[in-house]
A and B are shown apart, each in its own frame.
Chain A
């Protein structure tokens, strides 16, 4: 069994390598956040509060981002390995044993990825902690290397997240008829599973409970109630984003079909090919969009929470006129690790599916589509993903803003809902650059290589 696990990992290294690197980065960032949490205990009370206000949402967001992105990547990896898995099934291996192989693969990946991330974590964590303290006017100087406890607990958390994320993949292995997977060269259409529907229901109930809690919280003084509402609004964002991420492929497919219609087929072949390619992948795989959506939605939602809270504070006269109430370095400190993880996750899922995309490009080249048009089509595809993710991120922030405005409106009549757009646009633009590079670079490097050779791979 151990030999089989290692052999298949090595054989499919193209699928796994980018996930492994993502896990290493995730471990380094999670350790850095953990070190910050640990540092807070060693600070004076006032500064301890400042750091806790930063580290608590930061650790929540980073964990949610790692979970959502890892789930997407593992789900994609299982889809990409459907043929080897199906071949084993046809050869008589039981589904449970195959699921065991996948779980073992995930444990190996989590262990190795965590180990690879350790040197990076030891390098990054102290610098990250001291940067956060300085950027947020914490004057106490604390030497903050990550402790062994943080290193080990983060490593265990990473493996746990990976295994939890792999649950869906295991389910799909048990479900898919082997003969279908062997006969069909294409990724099968995804249907909502009972697991996904149950998870959606539980998360929807949690979202509703938090929203009701926000709207109903009306005791205590204005300042402390505002603090509570901001905390609940951030929790709402952390629940609503994974909930939408569960169904983002279907929602995005509808939106994409609507807005990409603006360029008719006869005007641009590249646009047409990109449009169809995006729709197909969203329908079948759906993960290309998830990491970028998470990054944009979090940036927009968190900024929306703070901007709306700032508006409420002003209405309550808690902020002196002329003074800007938002600490931008604080907000970006909270968002930073998550945005970095999500952008890295965006590149990860693209690189994982590189081989399938290479085949499609070869098909187009055989049909006489020029190299320039093919590269153009993948850049347009990146643009379509980025615009769609940014729009959905804005919609998510609008939902958070609506609940928040209702809650703040009850608190202070003068509070107005604010929808932050610029942070999401900035993250979306960054995501586009990463996506375009990850998609266009392999296409550009194919210049001069015979398309039939690429088709035969």
Chain B
């Protein structure tokens, strides 16, 4: 397995009020080269799950084993090194470094990982993502779709084995979103695994497997699902959740 989570829970309490349970005993596994999409209503815990799986956030209970490494056993420095060497992120709001240009944003993760990306490698990736003419531009000089393509190019160049995408098309129009998804899914192979959180059911339907999350719990798991089937699964999960809370 490339990624495995067991009994993952995450919660917090604000101002000594009742604790908020964001994730409740979530278990999942993702095989090497597989793509997993996580869908669900807003506030269902999708992004928190992604953060726990990627080592950005420590779960309050449970464990995550990524590429054979138990993340909770790592120190903060160890988790940083793990992310640097093995993980690539694509966020809804891009999260490019504003102070450096496209070329350096592309090359940066490789540089952090101690693998200086050559000019040719950067130029090849820039050509793949259609931004050869924008290498000297800074992120704020690009459109949303272009920024997201840079984020994906960064993942491609870093040779990350695990890719975590949090609403990668959330801020894009349909056509830019399609380009981004083509790039993202096109980058996958036997050595690259992806977990994607999304509200876009067309995007989720392109994944090998889809988890439906509601109120922090996994309500369904679908393989080769259509957008319509996913919509139906989410509505069922939402209805179950309402019944449970009313019944409680």
Contact residues of A with B, CB < 8 Å?
Answer: 184-186, 265-266, 269, 272, 276-277, 279-281, 360, 363-372, 447-448, 450-453, 455
Contact = CB atoms under 8 A, between A and B. Distances in A.
A276 B112 contact: no
A452 B10 CA distance: 15
A363 B97 contact: yes
B100 A280 contact: yes
Q: Which 10 A-B pairs have the closest CB atoms?
A: A368-B84, A280-B99, A368-B83, A186-B140, A370-B80, A276-B100, A186-B98, A452-B56, A276-B99, A450-B57
Q: Which of A265, A276, A279 has the most CB of B within 10 A?
A: A276
A360 B138 CA distance: 14
B127 interface: no
B99 A279 contact: yes
Contact of A269 (B58, B85, B98, B111): B111
A241 B194 CA distance: 56
B95 interface: yes
Contacts of A265: 111, 116
B78 to A, nearest CB: 10
Q: Which of B81, B100, B139 has the most CB of A within 10 A?
A: B100
A178 to B, nearest CB: 16
29 contacts: A185-B98, A266-B111, A266-B116, A272-B111, A276-B97, A277-B99, A280-B100, A280-B138, A360-B97, A360-B99, A363-B95, A363-B96, A365-B80, A366-B89, A366-B95, A367-B83, A367-B97, A368-B83, A368-B84, A368-B85, A368-B109, A370-B80, A371-B76, A371-B77, A372-B77, A448-B76, A450-B56, A452-B51, A452-B57
Contact of A367 (B77, B98, B99, B108): B108
Contacts of A451: 56
Contacts of A277: 99
B104 A368 contact: no
A276 B84 CA distance: 20
A367 B112 contact: yes
A371 B77 CA distance: 7
Nearest to B57: A450
B113 A280 contact: no
A366 B140 contact: no
A363 B84 CA distance: 12
A371 B58 CA distance: 16
B55 to A, nearest CB: 9
A68 to B, nearest CB: 25
A93 B217 CA distance: 46
A367 B97 CA distance: 10
